[in-house]
Amino acid sequence: MKNLAKFLLFVLLVSAGISLLYDYRLKHGGLKLPSTRTPEKYTLASGPSVDSKQVASLEALNRERRSLVSSVLPSVVAVKTSKKIGIRREYGLDPFEFFFGNRQRRFRSPRDEALVQSSLGSGVIVTNEGHIITNNHVVAQVDEIEVQLSDGQTKKARLVGADEQVDLAVLKIDNPSVKPLKLADSDTVQPGDFVLAIGNPFGFEETVTDGIISSKGRPNRSDFFGDLLQTNAAINPGNSGGPLINLRGEVIGINTAIASTTGGSQGVGFAIPSNTVRNALESLLKQGRIIRGYLGIQTRALQPGEDGADTEGVTVAEVMAGSPAAQAGVQPGDVVRKFDGHEVKNFSALRTLVAQTQLNKQVELEIVRDGKPLKVKAQIKEQPIDHDTARAVPRQNEPQPQTPRQPSDEEAASSPLAAIHVEELTPEMARQLDLPSNVQGVLVTGVDPDSGVAELQKGDVIEEINQQPVTSVSDYNKIAAALEPSQPQVLSVCRHRARSFLVLRPR
């Protein structure tokens, strides 16, 4: 107790000294205002620098944009979540704990407490009954969900259903006066279309940013981002789950991710197309889960110079054992041209067509085998839970794959990612970091200073490098060793419950 009293006296003396020094500087230092003032003469500009008639079209555009924004804002909500995390807190008599919150100390009187972790996101009302669409990563594994309406009201929200794979969730509030927005036909969206992104970035409710559709889909991508709409409208943390709006005030997408070297907006944002949202919404409301059709093939895009590469389609790389495709006689090497009468332009198109097909429906596949057209029929089944780990039908006379050589420490050190230190992601660590249950990758444990990759943080999970899945430290080292140091590298990163791209450029 004597030491504590001495410390408190010391702090009081230091505070008094600082106060006296500050008062002295105010009285004797810096610029001084005159003791008597003569009013300054001033003349403000009396008119605008541009005649409104000269910018009549811009004035009209301004009015129309105001009208568009005011009509959709009442339908956009801020989503606020909280989760209780059990922690072990202990209290001692270290005086530094009182002033500075130092946790590295010796303890007395241990006891258990619960820390409340809060998070912010966005959502949009889409039904007259008060159903709200948001991202799954906004509301996953939380204890309480509230939404704040545009008029300031806060309502408790009920989680109706969610899906990790498509990253969408449906909430419900009880409010008879809600104004829903219509889900547009995202198939009609084209690059160059004007859009608005509305949401709750960094907790700033009703933030509106504008831009265009930068790109629509990526036919050569087989990951989550291949199906998304890309926009240059500024999207930041907290925008997740908010709507992407077209000129008619309709929802064409749900903002879900960004590609960034800083963690903030750099004009490369992504939204889930509204047609995907509509299918997910109806499935979650009717069945409580998303029902997906399943064909049972793994595909790849046709390569230049490959047989049939001058036309659209996808090549079957693997056929899953016992799948509808296997029962229909589909073989590796077949080129799928049409699915149930619909042209197959790329892998994303085929995946969407299959997923949206009614269960048990018999569909016709038009394929090319050894340069000859062929038609087969397959009965679409529900996608099994373990479809990602299903075994492929073994090919005849297929050589056994050789075990790849692991890179040496010297080879890994030459990689541009050598400055990033990673370790295996364990289930226990994933729970501690509050990560989605489907995260696979390596855990970032540190980044070398002055390495140029400071945008990565301890606790981030690297899931992909240049679209190559990373499931272990061995994968990470092998991919890192094969990278070209002079080329930018694109990492798919999960931070807490949000996914984004980070672009690492050579220094």
SS3 content of the chain, % helix, strand, coil (to 5): 25, 35, 45
Hey, what are 431's tokens?
A: 């729970």
Kindly report the backbone phi and psi dihedral angles of residue 329, in degrees, each rounded to the nearest multiple of 5, phi listed first.
90, 15
Q: Report the half-sphere exposure of 459 (CA within 13 A, side-chain side).
A: 9
Query: Which DSSP letter does residue 499 get?
Result: E
Nearest to residue 88, comparing CAs of 62, 65, 109? 109
Catalytic residue among 167, 227, 334, 460: 167
SS (H, E, C) 107-140: CEEEEEEEEEEEEEEEEEECCCCCEEEECHHHHC
Tell me the residue length of the chain: 507
Catalytic residue among 214, 240, 274, 283: 240
* Catalytic annotation present for 240: yes
Instruction: With beta carbons less than 8 A apart as the criterion, state whether 91 and 196 touch.
Output: no
In the block, tokens 């509204």 appear at: 274
Hey, what are 413's tokens?
A: 């050190």
* Catalytic annotation present for 421: no
Catalytic residue among 119, 137, 186, 214: 137
Torsion of CA 446, 449, 454, 458, to 10 degrees: 20
* Catalytic annotation present for 222: no
Name every residue whose Cβ is closer than 8 Å to that of residue 326 and which is 6 or more positions away in sequence: 296, 319, 320, 393
Beta-bridge partner residues of 158: 172
Name every residue whose Cβ is closer than 8 Å to that of residue 68 and which is 6 or more positions away in sequence: 196, 245, 247, 249
Pairing of strands 314-319, 207-216: unpaired
Secondary structure element (H or E) that encloses residue 226, with its range: none
Where in the sequence numbering do the catalytic residues fall?
Answer: 137, 167, 240
